[in-house]
Amino acid sequence: MGMTMTQKILAAHAGLDSVEPGQLIEASLDMVLGNDITSPVAIKEFHKMGAGKVFDKAKVALVPDHFTPNKDIKAAEQCRFVREFARSMEVENYFEVGEMGIEHCLLPEKGLVVPGDLVIGADSHTCTYGALGAFSTGVGSTDMAAGMATGKCWFKVPSAIKFVLKGRPSGWVSGKDIILHIIGMIGVDGALYKSMEFMGEGLQYISMDGRFTMANMAIEAGAKNGIFMVDEKTIEYVKAHSKKPWTVYEPDEDAVYDEVYEIDLSKVRPTVAFPHLPSNTRTIDEVGDVEIDQVVIGSCTNGRLEDLRVAAKILNGRKVKKGVRVIIFPGTQRIYLDALKEGLIEQFVEAGAVVSTPTCGPCLGGHMGILAKGERAVSTTNRNFVGRMGHTESEVYLASPAVAAASAVTGRITDPDTLLKAD
């Protein structure tokens, strides 16, 4: 029986000729990731195990990015705990305020993940790196601890769903719209513990930033991971960011998939996920009249340079509607600096938005953008569960940077084309 991309990567890292869905394996790791929320728990377990050192100083990454810059004393203590561990273990990839970024934007930018890698992270959106043709998945803090100590982790080999992308996206349709469309189609458990594997001629029309967005939200369909076929765009990105060797894994012709979906990208419309699930989607044409109080543009889902360029294209020369708060979070310091050099930051500020240091803060209702009772936000983040960004009686609508920016100008969820035509 043939293997999928994910199955081939797992087999190679387990030292096996082949694997099958449901098989339990132990595999070697290329990177172990933790942040300021999950790492303290992992570090305590690491010490309980009696581990005296990490398995490889270059294959552990610690990124305090959720409650940083520190929002309170507890956050400061957590970050200090992680910082001291990183120093004592001589962890090479420790990134804090001033050089940090949102972890899932930062690691690819730093060239720490390449095609064929096997990555675990104590954060559910570790699946982002599948955009590079790597197997990456979120794990618990205990598995992170064992991974840091031994360089290995056990896995149950997932079965897979194939997504064949056809056609070319039109207008403002982005990777965010495509993945919301897919999640709306299959549901939040439609890929439960499966690998979502993306391929097809339509890939050529999806940028690397768009692919990161799509892989990032594979977990919102319940997937174990999301992974893209490696193509020229992937290789170009990797060559620009990394000096690590890589391996390209392609699915066998007789690879077995639980389901196969063909997605005609030309028919996908800008899509919005209504409260309180990412699968509760409507096209922009079905949204109706939804007034908003806040717009958040950024996060590990949509905080990359392409996202900021799109938002700036819409906000440039326009003003944020009075009474609407707009907060923009570049994904990394590099992205922030590039946006600054391109004049995007100036455009945001002149439009009436604020631009923050890279942080996960607002996405999980941590800090810098908390919603009050009854407030509504349009957000380019990845989750809109009850209370996700603040009060349990607030509402979060997930959308692309284009829809978010257009909505900031009108004060209600808006089709970017409608805004531009009105001008």
Residue 1 reports pLDDT greater than 80: no
d(CA 4, CA 250): 7
295 near 378, Cβ under 8 Å? yes
- Examine the domain organization and report whether 218 and 281 are in the same domain: no
Rounded to 5 degrees, φ, ψ at 350 are -65, -30
Q: Which residue has the tokens 């531009």?
A: 420
Do 278 and 344 fall into the same domain? Answer: yes
pLDDT digits (tens, 9 = 90+) for 361-386: 887 878 888 999 999 999 999 999 88
| Phi, psi angle pair for 382, to nearest 5° | -115, -10
Per cent of the chain over pLDDT 90 is 90
Q: Quick one: 112 and 205 in the same domain?
A: yes
Same domain, 182 and 251: yes
249 vs 7: CA distance, rounded Å: 9
Of the candidate ranges 281-285, 315-319, 385-389, the one whose mean pLDDT is the lowest: 385-389
In this structure, are residues 115 and 244 in contact, taking their beta carbons and an 8 Å threshold? no
Integer-rounded Cα Rg, in Å, for the chain is 21
Same domain as 366, residue 227: no
- Work out the number of other CB atoms within 10 angstroms of the CB of residue 95: 21
In the chain, the number of structural domains is 2
Q: Tally helices (H) and strands (E) across the chain.
A: 14, 18
* 188-214 per-residue burial string, b: 16 or more CB within 10 A, e: under 16: bebbeebbbbbbbebbeebebbbbbbb
| Per-residue pLDDT reduced to its tens digit, 331-349 | 999 999 999 999 999 999 9
Looking at the fold, whether 247 and 285 belong to one and the same domain comes out as: no
Among 264, 296, 321, identify where a domain stops.
264
Tell which of 238, 264, 290 closes a domain.
264
pLDDT per position as a tens digit, 28-50: 999 999 999 999 999 999 999 99
- Closest of 166, 170, 212, 180 to residue 416, by C-alpha: 170
Pair 258, 279 in one domain: no
- pLDDT number for residue 65: 86
In sequence order, which residues have a C-beta less than 8 Å from that of residue 339 and are 6 or more positions away? 305, 308, 312, 330, 345
**Is 257 in the same domain as 294?**
no
Q: What is the layout of strands, in order, in the sheet containing 325-329? A: 281-283, 271-273, 395-398, 376-379, 294-298, 325-329, 354-355
Q: Are residues 92 and 197 in the same domain?
A: yes
* 329 and 219 both lie in a single domain: no
Same domain membership, residue 300 and residue 252: no
Domain final position from 236, 264, 292: 264
CATH number for the domain harbouring residue 33: 3.30.499.10
Angle separating helix axes 305-315 and 401-410, nearest 10 degrees: 30
Same domain, 88 and 231: yes
Note down the domain range covering 233. 5-264
Would you give the DSSP letter of residue 396? E
Distance CA 273, CA 285 (A): 13
